[in-house]
């Protein structure tokens, strides 16, 4: 309640990391685990969160390692949280093990650190233009790694929308424009958009190159921004083989029953 009123910072949870067999482990192992946990929790919460105080204990219970402060954190304010559910803790437990397995791959660790940073910035920035740009950066980072795993790469002069779309196809995700994005759907034929990724990259290019084609369409830009963030969430959840419910960005106050749908690939099966 205090954080809601003050929109500040505070310690909300404490935890303890131990091995199941109660044996000791190296400080570097703990650092990597905590880094992965910080990134995962930030992605799940929709804003950067961290651990203000970390203490490592030796077998005598004395401090052998202490770290103060979080180098990157957002103060409390309302931002969309992907996994805000009644059984939030159970979902995090099951999903983190998959995230950690991915993070243990050095190439994926580098990509996840950068991609989730841009995702968080996009989700917390007040300007939709900056949010759209950060969103596409995130999608390109993730798509590049997904295709690299498959022995593919970006083709010469390949448009970003097509390149990202290949990654979606590789994971069998349909990059459609949801019915909630009415403005995007109404003008997709006018701009010859094949799908939502094409729309997003077209609007992003218009912003970066100062063409001004969509400057008078704030609703169109806002929908593209929201759609881009949703694409990032779906791409990561599919990569983590998540098959449960999530907090939808497209939920409306009038339709609370749709607030927590299953991920799209579960419905289609």
Judge whether 129 and 218 are in contact, CB under 8 Å: no
- Residue 118 Cα distances to 22, 61, 107, 138, 228, angstroms: 37, 39, 17, 6, 12
Q: CA-CA distance, 56 to 17, in Å (whole number)?
A: 9
In terms of pLDDT, which residue wins out, 248 or 240? 240
Please enumerate in sequence order all residues whose Cβ is within 8 A of that of 90, keeping only pairs 6 or more positions apart, or say none: none
In terms of pLDDT, which residue wins out, 234 or 28? 234
Q: CA-CA distance, 210 to 213, in Å (whole number)?
A: 8
pLDDT at 150 over 80: yes
Q: Quick one: pLDDT band at residue 140, thresholds 50, 70, 90? A: very high
- Whether this model's pTM surpasses 0.75: yes
Poorest-confidence range of 42-46, 134-138, 239-243, 251-255? 251-255
Poorest-confidence range of 73-87, 110-124, 184-198, 239-253? 73-87
pLDDT at 6 over 60: no
* Predicted local confidence at residue 1, as pLDDT: 53
- Residue 174 Cα distances to 83, 168, 250, angstroms: 21, 7, 16
Give CA 223 to chain center in angstroms.
Answer: 17
Q: CA-CA distance, 121 to 58, in Å (whole number)?
A: 37
State what percent of residues in the chain have pLDDT above 70. 87
Task: Label residue 153 exposed, middle or buried (CB < 10 Å: 0-12, 13-18, 19+).
Answer: exposed
Q: Which residue has the tokens 């991915």?
A: 102
Instruction: Annotate 57-96 with b (16+ C-beta within 10 A) or e (fewer).
Output: eeeeeeeeeeeeeeeeebebeeebbbbebeeeeebbeebb
Average pLDDT, the chain: 85
Q: Quick one: pLDDT band at residue 240, thresholds 50, 70, 90? A: very high
State what percent of residues in the chain have pLDDT above 90. 48
In terms of pLDDT, which residue wins out, 200 or 251? 200
* Predicted local confidence at residue 206, as pLDDT: 93
- The angle at the Cα of 257, spanning 253 to 84, to the nearest 5 degrees, equals 80
Q: Quick one: pLDDT band at residue 183, thresholds 50, 70, 90? A: very high
* Predicted local confidence at residue 198, as pLDDT: 94
Q: H-helix or E-strand containing 57?
A: strand 53-57
* Predicted local confidence at residue 74, as pLDDT: 67
pLDDT at 260 over 70: yes
Poorest-confidence range of 54-68, 110-124, 140-154, 232-246? 54-68
Structure tokens at 186: 């109404």
Judge whether 197 and 227 are in contact, CB under 8 Å: no
* Predicted local confidence at residue 239, as pLDDT: 95
| CA proximity to 111, closest of 148, 157, 166, 71 | 148
* Predicted local confidence at residue 157, as pLDDT: 79
Question: Averaging pLDDT over each range in 42-56, 68-82, 253-267, which range is the top one?
Answer: 42-56
- Phi and psi at 189, nearest 5°, equal -70, -35
* Predicted local confidence at residue 269, as pLDDT: 45
Judge whether 211 and 192 are in contact, CB under 8 Å: no
Structure tokens at 173: 């995700």
Q: What is the mean pLDDT of residues 148-168?
A: 87
């Amino acid at each position: 309640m205090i954080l809601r009123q003050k929109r500040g910072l505070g310690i909300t949870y404490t935890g303890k990391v131990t091995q199941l067999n109660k044996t000791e482990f190296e400080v570097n192992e703990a650092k990597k685990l905590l880094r992965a946990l910080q990134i995962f929790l930030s992605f799940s919460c929709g804003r950067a969160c961290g651990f203000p105080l970390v203490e490592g204990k030796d077998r005598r219970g004395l401090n052998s390692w202490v770290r103060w402060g979080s180098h990157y954190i957002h103060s409390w304010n309302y931002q969309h949280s992907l996994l805000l559910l009644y059984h939030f803790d159970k979902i995090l437990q099951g999903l983190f093990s998959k995230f950690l397995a991915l993070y243990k791959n050095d190439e994926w660790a580098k990509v996840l650190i950068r991609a989730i940073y841009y995702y968080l910035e996009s989700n917390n920035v007040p300007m939709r233009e900056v949010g759209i740009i950060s969103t596409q950066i995130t999608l390109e980072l993730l798509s590049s790694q997904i295709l690299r795993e498959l022995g593919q790469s970006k083709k010469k002069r390949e448009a970003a929308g097509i390149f990202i779309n290949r990654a979606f196809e590789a994971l069998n995700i349909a990059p459609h424009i949801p019915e909630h994005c009415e403005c995007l759907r109404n003008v997709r034929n006018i701009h010859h958009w094949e799908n939502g990724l094409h729309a997003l990259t077209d609007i992003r290019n218009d912003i970066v190159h100062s063409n001004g084609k969509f400057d008078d369409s704030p609703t169109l830009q806002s929908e593209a921004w929201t759609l881009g963030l949703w694409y990032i969430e779906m791409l990561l959840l599919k990569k983590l083989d998540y098959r449960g419910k999530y907090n939808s960005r497209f939920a409306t106050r009038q339709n609370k029953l749709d607030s927590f749908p299953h991920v799209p690939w579960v419905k289609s099966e």
